[in-house]
Structure 1
Amino acid sequence: MIGKRITHRMADGVRVPGTWRHAFICNGGTYFLTDLFIYADGIVDCWDLVTLDEFEKKLRSGWVATGLPDGGSASAHHLGRWTFGEPDTWLTPELLLAEVRDTIDELNGRPDSTGRCLAAVEVFLAEPTEENRSAARAAYLAIPETVRHYALGDMDRKDRPLQVLVAGPGGRLPDWPDGRRVSQEAYDEAVAYFGEREHWRAEARKRVPADGAAHSFAPAVKLPHSYPQRALERPDKRCLRNDYPAPLTVDGVTYPSVAHAYWARSVADPEARGAVVAAETGAEARTLAAGAARREGWERTRTAVMARLLRAKYAQHPDLAAILLATGDATLVYDDADSGFWGDNGGRGRNWMGRLLELVRSELPADEARVG
């Protein structure tokens, strides 16, 4: 189960999503408490990037440890060392491997063992033959024992209705105590439970979020790094870049572009500021500003300054504002070879410029929405 443990790694310029979980690695006789990083492409990092088949070998060899010996030496890197005393662990190599396989399915948006079980249960409920029950039972037993309790997402009943349904009247599951069998009454209650559950799910599917869709309906728009020299006869997404020649006036001063305005406002000396404003291009403005003393506290105010300049640009250029609005609710990915703060830069930057452009875009229709 991934939960909130989200990470990624870059592979050939591609962002590969992943997650992590705690584990012990046995190296040189010491058991190190560490993390396994599991990625959507089936790669597992257990102090080395390995394929799923190689990871299984690491499990079988004891490198990734699922058994902890009494008296064994343990370590958490740079935090402390201790000795196991009557350790209790419920994992086996088979269970951990099954959980990792499920995690990879989940990272890829595919049904994991729980999803496959619930799909088999739906088939059985639609056509309750013994053959379909047998398939549902096999799918249930294929769920790692450590996660079966969570299969229905019902923290009160756990997976008990599921157990009863796949066992059937008079039936039992392999790990049940001798003599325990499913009564007809218990079976009928389980069938009724699944009927109610389907009703709840149907109602949930029909529910419309109170504030509209939570996800973007438009594909992401990338604004690659470029150096526009002159205004385009037919402006396109290149006009959304800060160094695009779109003059703007702020506090009585007219700047050739947002880049000129931003860099001019970053410098402390008025004379240097004037030279930045007069620079031939946005790139030259940046170079001049880089050689001048920065205003005190600039790093704390720069995002607010940029937001104000962007609002001015699009308020004073309705044609460019229309191009920004035409991106819908797309994620704006702004590349900036000079800054990992403003640019996305292949997932390595913070993309603050893209985020501010999205903010300004959301404000553009505000006049139409303003009430009283």
Structure 2
Amino acid sequence: MLGNRIIHRTADGVRIPGTWRHAFICNGGSYFLTDLFIYADGLIDCWELVTLEEFEQKLRRGWVATSLPEGGKASAHHLASWTFGDPYTWLTPDLLLAEVRDTVDELNGRPDSTARCLAAVDVFMADRTEDHRAAARAAYLAVPETVRHYALGDMDRKDRPLRVLVAGPGGRTPDERAEVVTQEQYDHAVAYFEEREQWRAKAASRVPADGPATSFAPAVKIYHSYPQRALEDPGKQALRNDYPAPITVGDLACPSVAHAYWARSVAEPEARTAVLAAESGAKARTVAAAAPRREGWEGARTAVMAGLLRAKYEQHPDLAAILLATGDATLLYDDADSDFWGDNGGRGRNWTGRLLELVRSELRAGPAGQALVD
């Protein structure tokens, strides 16, 4: 639950909402009490900005620590240091990962595991079959143990009516006590949920006319690479500007977007020819760097790149399909040579990623959807 722990990070003027929670980082055998910063686009800052997939890897490796050894050395931001004595933690990698995934859902206004559980209960209450009860019980068990008590928002009864309902008369509650549920207890639980439904029916609801105010799919990182040849199944590597996907722009035939961009950047025709003849996009950059820039290039380069990306994905439908498959995800483009074009761990402006998102939107609209933007 977010509570008042609302933060944000700014990615080139765009505010990405987030929250924080305490955690231990294990680095070099020592443990550091710090904060995890969790953002709505699925990025987590655990001493570096990582995707959910990378975060899970750090959990499994113990970089984000969920077990604390007897005698382990710990510190907190140079404020204090101590040695663990008889340490106890209820977290496991799976539990912490589930909590973080729930947090991302909550930041986006999507149903988290608790909401999915309550939806399964609604199905059971509408049609009280044992199959529906089993589905509700499974959904309850999918809620992280640390938040089950808060599922109903009832600080007096906690989640007891929920445990009794999914157990059923004669069944055992899904908790450590595993109590056998009596008919009377079950009837009280049913009455509780019937009253709860009546209260919910009276509550005012509002559906935003234009959909959620903010919504983020898990971010997609386009890692820095040096593709040398076209691949049968390139995956996200095909979204690199230096991926060998030839494009024709005006009267220029270019081996890749990178070649086209750097050829457009130079002032002299001889340099342009040399750039286009370079063996790779990286070498095209090197050749262009040694030549004078065109006048006004810095102000025009973003528009030039947008046009080149449109050409690439219009002329290569197979690569356009890869771009469209990223959905509405934030695209983080690594560029070791440029904090202007690359995100680079949150340090850069990520203009390539942003322009890819623009072109993706245009592709999705297509000819039939052009009226949407006219």
Q: TM-score range by the shorter chain?
A: 0.5 to 0.7
* Deviation sequence 1:341-367 (CA, Å, 0-9, x none): xxxxxxxxxxxxxxxxxxxxxxxxxxx
Cα deviation, residue 3, structure 1? 0.7
Change over 3 Å in CA distance of 1:66–1:162 after alignment to 2: same
Deviations 1:24-64 (CA, angstroms, capped at 9, x unpaired)? 00111111000000011110100011110110010011100
Relative contact order, CA 8 A, sep 6+: which one is greater? 2
Instruction: Tell me, in whole angstroms, the C-alpha distance in 1 between the residues paired with 2:104 and 2:44.
Output: 10
Conservation of the 8 A alpha-carbon contact between 2:31 and 2:74: yes
Q: Distance in 2 between matches of 1:90 and 1:52?
A: 21
Q: CA deviation at 1:174?
A: 4.7
Q: Which residue of 2 aligns with 1:133?
A: 133
After superposition, the C-alpha distances for 1:241-268 in whole angstroms (9 at most, x for unaligned) are xxxxxxxxxxxxxxxxxxxxxxxxxxxx
How far residue 195 of structure 1 moved from its aligned partner, in angstroms, is 1.3
In structure 2, distance between residues paired with 1:177 and 1:164:
12
Residue of structure 2 in register with 1:90 after alignment: 90
Structure 2 residue 194 is matched with structure 1 residue 202: no
Give how far 1:12 is off: 4.3
Q: Whole-Å Cα distance in 1 between the matches of residues 148 and 112 of structure 2?
A: 12
**Which has more radius of gyration?**
1
2:181 is the counterpart of 1:160: no
CA distance in 1, matches of 2:60, 2:109: 28
Aligned residues: 212
- Residues 302-317 of structure 1 correspond to what in structure 2 (within 5 A)? none
**TM-score, structure 2 as length reference:** 0.54
Counterpart position of 1:304: none
TM-aligned CA deviation for residue 169 of structure 1 = 1.0
**Aligned match of 1:186:** 185
Give how far 1:117 is off: 0.5
Please report the TM-score for the alignment, with normalisation by the length of structure 1: 0.54
Alpha-carbon contact 2:23-2:64 (below 8 Å) kept: yes
SS of equivalent to 2:204: helix
For 1:57, the equivalent position in structure 2 comes to 57
Correspondence for 2:271: none
SS in structure 1 of the partner of residue 197 of structure 2: helix
| Structure 2: 5+ residue stretches without partners | 214-374
Q: Give the corresponding residue for 2:69.
A: 69
For residue 47 of structure 1, what is the amino acid of its counterpart? W
How far, CA to CA, are the matches of 1:55 and 1:43 in structure 2?
A: 9
Q: Provide the alpha-carbon RMSD of the alignment.
A: 2.4
Counterpart residue type for residue 75 of structure 2: S
Q: Secondary structure at the match of 2:134?
A: helix
In the alignment, the residues of structure 1 paired with residue 132 and residue 105 of structure 2 have an alpha-carbon distance, to the nearest angstrom, of: 24
Give deviations 1:318-340, integer Å, cap 9, x for gaps: xxxxxxxxxxxxxxxxxxxxxxx
Q: C-alpha displacement at 1:203, in angstroms?
A: 3.5
Residue of structure 1 in register with 2:5 after alignment: 5
Structure 1 runs (4+) deviating above 6 angstroms are: none
Q: Distance in 1 between matches of 2:115 and 2:8?
A: 24
Contact 2:167 2:174 in 1 (8 A): no
Q: Which amino acid aligns with 1:83?
A: T
CA distance in 1: counterparts of 2:68 and 2:14, whole angstroms? 37
**Structure 1 residues 143-292: aligned runs within 5 Å:** 143-177=143-177, 180-205=179-204
